[in-house]
Amino acid sequence: MAFTKKVTLKSSDGELFIIDRAVALQSRTIQYVLEDTNPVDAIIPVPAVDARTLSKVLEYCKKHLIDLNTDFEDYSKWDKDFVDAEVWMLYDLIMAADYLHIPPLIDLICDKIASMFKGQTPDKIREIFNIDNDFSKEEEEDFKKKSGWAFK
């Protein structure tokens, strides 16, 4: 009964998550661990992801496993709500999705972040994403000279 098999994941802050093997298999990283070592009832550590983020990622994996037959619109609505999150949460999520290697989740978050750039000035983007401006005044002037239309 392969499908009812459970897998235990351990977050960086020590919390245990007991989930269906099929849910865990959506992460290619975990898939490789399971294929390589085939641990029976063993705990798989996920040292790069904390409990709060891991539970959110697993929520995504569960939804996308169960609802494979849901029609496209329902699905995209759920996805849209899922990434309607604070910027720091998106950061943690994309780092976790990258570490766990879940391509559809990575795409979903990238799409969300790109949509937050729409029509924003570089200053506003730096503010939203907490990024230091490491360009000199001259370089900034140069951008405006070359492609001034994009900064109006």
Partner 1 sequence: MSHTDWSNLPKELIELIFDELQHAGDIIRFGTVCRFWHLVALEARQQVFKPLRPLSPMLLLPPNKDDEAHKLYDFFEKKAYKIQIPAMRDKWCCSSWNGWLITINRTLPYEICCLNPISGVQIHLPPAITFEDSPPDPEETPIEFFLNKVVLSSTPSPSNATCVIMAIHSNYNKLAFCKPGDERWITLKSEDIQYKDLLYYKDNFYAIGRLKVVQCDIGNDPRVIPFAPLPKMGRLEHRYLVESSDRLLYVLRYMDLKDKEDPSKLRYETTSFKVFDLDSDKRKFSDRYETTTFKVYDFDFDKKKWKRYP
Q: Can you give the binding site for partner 1, defined by CB under 8 A? A: 86-88, 91-92, 94-95, 98, 106-107, 110-111, 113-115, 117-122, 125-126, 129-135, 140, 143, 146-152
Compute the least distance from the CB of residue 85 to partner 1, in Å: 12
**Whole-angstrom distance, CA of residue 26 vs CA of residue 62:** 9
Indicate the residue among 4 and 130 with the shorter CB distance to partner 1: 130
Indicate the residue among 66 and 150 with the shorter CB distance to partner 1: 150
Indicate the residue among 67 and 141 with the shorter CB distance to partner 1: 141
Return the ∠ at Cα 78 (arms to 26 and 93), rounded to 5°: 55
CB 45 within 8 A of CB 11: no
Compute the least distance from the CB of residue 22 to partner 1, in Å: 26
Locate 137 and state its tokens. Answer: 């005044």
Compute the Cα dihedral for 86, 49, 133, 105 and give only its sign: negative
Indicate the residue among 22 and 113 with the shorter CB distance to partner 1: 113
Within 13 Å, how many C-alpha atoms sit on residue 119's CB side?
0
Compute the least distance from the CB of residue 15 to partner 1, in Å: 20
Compute the least distance from the CB of residue 37 to partner 1, in Å: 26
CB 58 within 8 A of CB 23: yes
